[in-house]
Amino acid sequence: MGTREVYEEKLRTRNLDRDPTLNLGLCSPQCPRYQWLGYCLNIHFVYPQMSILKYLGTSRHKLFAAGKYPKVLSFSTFHTTPNSSVELHSQEEEVVIALGSNVGDRLHNFKEALKLMKNSGINITRHACLYETAPAYVTDQPRFINSAVRAVTKLGPHELLSTLKRIEKDLGRIDGIRYGPRPIDLDILFYGKYKVRSDILTVPHERIWERPFVMAPLMDLLGSAIDSDTVAAWHSFSGHSGGLSGLWEDLGSESLIGEEGMYRVIPVANGLLDWSLKTSVMGILNVTPDSFSDGGNFLSVESAVSQVRIMISEGADMIDIGAQSTRPMASRISVEEELGRLIPILEAVVSMPEAEGKLISVDTFYSEVALEAVSNGAHLINDVSAGQLDCNMFKVMADLDVPYVAMHMRGDPSTMQNSENMKYDNVCKEISSELYSRVREAEMSGIPAWRIIIDPGIGFSKKTEHNLEILWGLPDIRKEIGTRSLSISHAPMLIGPSRKRFLSEICPRPVVERDPATIASVTAGILGGANIVRVHNVKDNLDAVKVCDAILRQKSSYMKSRH
């Protein structure tokens, strides 16, 4: 038996722990034994407590010559035949997995896939946006929804593949036409810093670079900054001098959204909402005795229903029902009292014929109220505290299939306007950082990014100058969040300046006469990128919304014509 055959036999009989001549930790990359291992065997075996992935064919690469990508990293290519080995892997690796579905209840398929992945040792850390896309390759089939997740796992690459295939089967996928209809499709896009080549698995996925419906969610998962060697490796695998970002730009980047049959959507009310088509108007219904603008006006079911009917007739897309005041210095009421105010009115509003096709939101920071509200027909939850006032909110929302509005606020309504909570050095940057940290925790708790709406919290722990900075700084807030997560920076943004005190400090008028000032602030917000405006006076604000949307459409048309 030759030297090579001796090493093959030793490795196949798994004598790494008994034969020091095979202790790769003692070898340099130039050692012949090291090179033979990366070359001659179609197996993947792990030395006890140490992944062989670290050692197979290691080479060092400078990522890009440009200063934008200055990191030096190490990654490997390894070739395996999974049937010839038992794959053991004790080191946690970061992975990217793409999801697609176009058969059955597509959103339910996604939810179940995420749940089964978590139960199988795939711990999801980030979610991309959700896209509805036209089918590719085989075009005579239903439209897909597509997304992707980042996760960490101790599963080896082929174990991971087997796990994903089992999940696909459990969710009803059967062998059929390649690129044809399927209830769920799960693809490994990246596995750590490694390239994988085998008969059944290629990583990075070989067709990433040509598919906008894969590239869009992949880019969502990456911040605009390169924050780790693993992310740097993913950029390098693209083969583009500008990394994945440069490749995405070459494909068309954001210009592709809304074109080529691909739309960024949020799932709500058993449908998919493309919030880019127009600005949504959310009408405010306070069923409280002490709200600053309309407290005590709509306490009865009859008066509440009458007000909702008026707002819908004036063009409201959404109705936001609040049964607990969050005005400055408001006292907190119990869950039971809030539910007592809310549920009779919510039930009546949901059953209104006029409410058909409208979205009903409930404004609450209590998880128990959120759960009951959704059980009684609410389509989304609007939480002014972004989970800070109820530690169970994220856990409850993770199990509910409704969008979640996370708003920036410091403290609670009784403390938010104290001097400490209104101290900022850079209001937009600090709002971005603090709001992102809340959304990040929500994601880690299981709320997908494609169900999150962000709100910078105008009037909550803000002085007048802060509120004005928010209105002209909405693009900066998105950009700052985008350095950490592009998916969250793409989320729908809600603003609620309606009749708030800062307007009276500029235009000294009583609450009921603040609608013109509200319209001005709503106009500034929409032109700065707000997607949902929360207002008391639907009729007059809707006119402002329509004009702003027309301006933005004209601007978009003009910019496209120049290119």
How many Cα atoms sit within 13 Å of 515 on the Cβ side? 12
Beta carbons within 8 Å of 209's beta carbon, 6+ residues apart: 215, 238, 239, 247
Catalytic residue among 264, 451, 514, 534: 534
Sole residue written with tokens 């009421």: 333
Give the residues across from 202 on adjacent strands.
197
8 A C-beta contact, residue 428 and residue 476: yes
Q: Report d(CA 480, CA 450) in Å as an integer.
A: 19
Q: Could you tell me the maximum CA-CA distance found in the chain, to the nearest angstrom?
A: 96
For the record, the structure tokens of 83 come out as 């049937």
Beta carbons within 8 Å of 88's beta carbon, 6+ residues apart: 45, 46, 156
Catalytic residue among 126, 195, 500, 514: 500
The full 3-state SS of 150-185, as one line of letters, equals EEEECCCHHHHHHHHHHHHHHCCCCCCCCCCCCCCE
8 A C-beta contact, residue 125 and residue 150: yes
For the record, the structure tokens of 112 come out as 């179940």
Q: Report d(CA 188, CA 195) in Å as an integer.
A: 11
Whether 500 is catalytic: yes
Q: Report d(CA 317, CA 550) in Å as an integer.
A: 18
| Nearest Cα residue to 363 out of 400, 405, 328, 303 | 405
b/e 321-360 (16+ beta carbons within 10 angstroms → b): bbbbbbbbebeebeeeebbebbbebbeebbeeeebeebbb
223 φ, ψ (degrees, to nearest 5): -70, 170
Whether 115 is catalytic: no
Report the catalytic residues: 500, 534
